Amino acid sequence: MADLPPIRPGMVIGILGGGQLGRMLATAAADLGFSCHIYCPDPKSPAFAVAAARTIAPYDDAAALAAFAGSVDLITFEFENIPLETLHTLGTQAPVLPGPMSLEKTQDRLVEKAMVAELGIAVPPFAPVADQADIYSALARTGRPALLKTRRLGYDGKGQALVRAGDDPVAAWRTIGEKPAILEAFVPFEREISVILARGRDGATRAFDIAENVHAEGILSTSKVPAAISAELAEEAVAVARQIAEALDHVGVLAVEMFVSSDNRTRLLVNEIAPRVHNSGHWTMDGCTFSQFEQHIRAIAGWPLGDTRRHSDVTMDNLIGDAVDTWPTVAAEADARLHLYGKAETRPGRKMGHVNRMRPTSTR
Amino acid sequence: MADLPPIRPGMVIGILGGGQLGRMLATAAADLGFSCHIYCPDPKSPAFAVAAARTIAPYDDAAALAAFAGSVDLITFEFENIPLETLHTLGTQAPVLPGPMSLEKTQDRLVEKAMVAELGIAVPPFAPVADQADIYSALARTGRPALLKTRRLGYDGKGQALVRAGDDPVAAWRTIGEKPAILEAFVPFEREISVILARGRDGATRAFDIAENVHAEGILSTSKVPAAISAELAEEAVAVARQIAEALDHVGVLAVEMFVSSDNRTRLLVNEIAPRVHNSGHWTMDGCTFSQFEQHIRAIAGWPLGDTRRHSDVTMDNLIGDAVDTWPTVAAEADARLHLYGKAETRPGRKMGHVNRMRPTSTR
């Protein structure tokens, strides 16, 4: 990236994907003087409401992609399931950051896990499941319970099925739609944590304080900072995230979700990588001077990374589905900052907003 | 306002004026789930880049105003020089907050000063200057030096001229364009402060910590929080701002600039009222959980006002004209948060952005 000059205020950042992450990236970019152009197939994309320009088109519309790339100075994305072909096409016209490797290695759960394991980083035992017959040999490697996950396009617990003792594994195979999959051992964990780390074009990295996460039905429910882990373990977690970012030659924000194992043999196990800003980093909007969104924009823009110190402890609670209807109560709390995504339709399991509840900084 | 129901997330807030204040109001409103429609005659308005809808039309375009009012659930404004007639027209179609009295009393410096004086609040000695002949009698009341200011449409030092000992007052009269004016005594002051106070629809008020301001060539240069004033004086300043807000039946954020007199007889003198978010409140974006922009939106929306505690001390420096070119240096400072307004053209005296420089909270 050394040959790419930093982008200047007034220039245009193109963002692929128009969900809440794109929306929060767009307002962070605007605050630094950039103009944003959102590209998303969904005409109701929440990010459109805070962007200077919008393109509504599928991700394989060559003409729309060309026009988009021609109108921006730099391209980034808010989610990892963009076709690689799309990124390659765009990349011939405008710089795209993070680069294609960040997507290539994380779009496929099997490729991702294999890469992490090859780096010598601990992951739960896993095995590929290409067809129904593979499930039994895979189960022999992972033991039970185990999670069967589609290799591609799963998120928020979608495309996953649990295989417990006594369960018919073929039922799980059917649940996930009989698609190429990965079977992962369900490791007993003490807690789930995530590292939100940014890597600049120059290779510099900075991590926010580590969040402790609680999921419900496969969807992130709460992130709490600081996580109740030792400084030593926190340092190890950041080192793991940094190693992954470097292996991907990642530029931008990267999230690495990990388990803290409840047996003492392996302490950290990498669960999932997201090559982008992440729900478990939303607390930074109110707990730090620079949010993960500004940090991502700084990283891809070629600017110095922002300081990651936290000025307040935060518990971030997602507002999922009907929970958004609690907004009047939240708005009346003295230390709760409400963030709503402007989604017209409330659906079960849909992320409608989040609340950051602030506390004075602890010494941890 | 008791009969007006609170507006809900998903509803549309119309903002008159598309400058940086409108821009920052729009992103704050979006964060609460509102959609914004900006109305501004200037096609290059910085606020357009972060709004869901925009109308480019003069403030007296009846058809455009009607279409705008018909498309929004609530109307507010980012500057006080909107024709009263415009507000009245809009008000027949949609709620407008703050109400017309807030504008009526602050659009005209003479009306404003007279109102404040009638409330029993100290102001610098002043006198009306309707034509050239009035200047001499006015000077007899104010003494010299005195500031001659147009009654209407002045901002950032425009429409002002100083009359010192030995100066020909007629020259000042010509400088301001021979327009209806007010002559104000130039009082010796120890410091300039401002109170940023919000008043809700229910009459509840909340003030941010008081900022100490430095102007250069009539334009705000720096605001520093906390101001180096006693707790007693701070309390008095807030009481003055509250009294003014109540007299105006103001709903929303209001800024009151005051002098702390350097003689000891009268301690606070009201200099200027802005019935809106204000440059000297920009520090709240990074020093408090809820910024003045969110506070204004909460107030007009009929929501509870946000907590105004500050978690960090802040010095806000405006980036005026070419000073915006220092952005690469500012971006590299660990504790400096850069805010740029996305204005295409840099002009001398033009506010291009600001920097909030953070320090740990002092005990003051």
pLDDT, one tens digit for every residue, chain B (364 residues): 658 899 999 999 999 999 999 999 999 999 999 999 999 999 999 999 999 999 999 999 999 999 999 999 999 999 988 999 999 999 999 999 999 999 999 999 999 999 999 999 999 999 999 999 999 999 999 999 999 999 998 766 678 899 999 999 999 999 999 999 999 999 889 999 999 999 999 999 999 999 999 999 889 999 999 999 999 999 999 999 999 999 999 999 999 999 999 875 458 999 999 999 999 999 999 999 999 999 999 999 999 999 999 999 999 999 999 999 999 999 999 999 999 999 999 999 999 999 999 988 875 4
Two structure tokens written together for A346: 């409330």
The radius of gyration of chain A's CA atoms, rounded to the nearest angstrom, is 20
Q: Residue B96's beta-bridge partner residues?
A: B75
Q: Which residue of B has its CA nearest to A10?
A: B342
Please report the DSSP string for A192-213 in residue order.
Answer: EEEEEEEE-TTS-EEEPPPEEE
Helix or strand holding residue A330 (H, E): helix A327-331
Two structure tokens written together for A16: 């692929």
pLDDT in tens, A42-55: 999 999 999 999 99
Two structure tokens written together for A248: 């991907």
Answer yes or no: do B10 and A332 touch at CB < 8 A.
no
- Give the pLDDT of residue A95: 97
- Give the pLDDT of residue B362: 76
State the pLDDT confidence band at A144, using cuts at 50, 70 and 90: very high
Residue A265 has pLDDT above 50, yes or no: no
Three-class SS of residue A167?
A: coil
In order of A81, A155, A248, B54, B161, the CA distances from A158 in angstroms are 14, 5, 25, 38, 68
How many residues are present in chain B? 364
Q: What is the ipTM of this complex?
A: 0.95
Mean pLDDT of chain A: 95
CB within 8 Å of A252: residues ≥ 6 apart? A76, A97, A98, A102, A198, A199, A275, A276, A296, A299, A300
Two structure tokens written together for B68: 């705008």
- Give the pLDDT of residue A156: 66
Residue A1 has pLDDT above 70, yes or no: no
Residues B351, B20 contacting (CB under 8 angstroms): yes
Residue percentage of chain A with pLDDT more than 70: 97
Chain A residues touching B337 at Cβ < 8 A: 289-290
- Give the pLDDT of residue B156: 66
Answer yes or no: do A307 and B27 touch at CB < 8 A.
no
- Nearest by CB: B335 against A289, A331, A344: A289
- Nearest by CB: A340 against B32, B331, B342: B32
Residues B290, B308 contacting (CB under 8 angstroms): yes
Two structure tokens written together for A306: 């922002």
CB within 8 Å of A35: residues ≥ 6 apart? A10, A11, A12, A13, A29, A52, A53, B49, B342
In order of A23, B207, B226, B254, B290, the CA distances from B309 in angstroms are 27, 9, 12, 17, 9
Answer yes or no: do B289 and A31 touch at CB < 8 A.
no
Q: Which residue of B has its CA nearest to A311?
A: B311
Report residue B199 CA to chain centroid gap: 15
Q: Which residue has the tokens 């026009």?
A: A67
pLDDT in tens, B25-76: 999 999 999 999 999 999 999 999 999 999 999 999 999 999 999 999 999 9
Q: Which residue of B has its CA nearest to A346?
A: B10
State the pLDDT confidence band at A217, using cuts at 50, 70 and 90: confident
Chain B residues touching A332 at Cβ < 8 A: 304
Interface with chain B: mutation pick from A290, A300, A324, A338, highest number of B CBs within 10 Å: A338
- For residue A346, which phi and psi values (nearest 5 degrees)? -90, 125
Q: Which residue of B has its CA nearest to A26?
A: B50
Q: Which residue has the tokens 């509803």?
A: B11
- For residue B193, which phi and psi values (nearest 5 degrees)? -130, 165
- Give the pLDDT of residue A258: 97
Answer yes or no: do B9 and A312 touch at CB < 8 A.
no
Residues B56, B128 contacting (CB under 8 angstroms): no
| Distance between CA atoms of residues A209 and A215, nearest Å | 19
Which has more confidence, A1 or A287? Answer: A287
Long-range contacts of A38-46 (CB under 8 A, 24+ apart): A38/A14, A39/A14, A39/A15, A39/A64, A39/A65, A39/A68, A40/A16, A42/A18, A44/A343, A44/A344, A44/A345, A45/A18, A45/A19, A46/A18, A46/A19, A46/A20, A46/A22, A46/A341, A46/A342, A46/A343
| Distance between CA atoms of residues A40 and A42, nearest Å | 5
Interface with chain A: mutation pick from B25, B32, B54, highest number of A CBs within 10 Å: B32
State the pLDDT confidence band at A252, using cuts at 50, 70 and 90: very high
- Give the pLDDT of residue A2: 58
Residues B264, B180 contacting (CB under 8 angstroms): no
| Distance between CA atoms of residues B214 and B191, nearest Å | 8
pLDDT in tens, A27-41: 999 999 999 999 999
pLDDT in tens, A234-247: 999 999 999 999 99
pLDDT in tens, A100-141: 999 999 999 999 999 999 999 999 999 999 999 999 999 999
First to last CA, chain A: 36
How many residues are present in chain A? 364
Task: Look up the pTM and report it.
Answer: 0.96
Answer yes or no: do A32 and B338 touch at CB < 8 A.
yes
SS in 3 state form for A122-161? CCCCEEEECCCCHHHHHHHHHCCCEEEEECCCCCCCCCEE
State the pLDDT confidence band at A263, using cuts at 50, 70 and 90: confident
pLDDT in tens, A344-357: 999 999 999 999 99
Q: How many CB atoms lie within 10 A of CB B134?
A: 16
Chain B residues touching A341 at Cβ < 8 A: 33
Residue A337 has pLDDT above 70, yes or no: yes
Answer yes or no: do A51 and B48 touch at CB < 8 A.
no
Q: Residue A269's beta-bridge partner residues?
A: A259
| Distance between CA atoms of residues B242 and B102, nearest Å | 13
The 8-class DSSP code of residue A288 comes to B
- Give the pLDDT of residue A185: 95
| Distance between CA atoms of residues B8 and B13, nearest Å | 10
In order of A14, B117, B215, the CA distances from B238 in angstroms are 45, 17, 21
Domains belonging to chain B, first-starting first, are: 12-96 (3.40.50.20), 125-185 (3.30.1490.20), 189-360 (3.30.470.20)
- For residue B94, which phi and psi values (nearest 5 degrees)? -150, 155
Q: Residue A316's beta-bridge partner residues?
A: A223, A356
Q: Which of B347, B277, B263 is nearest to B20 (CA)?
A: B277
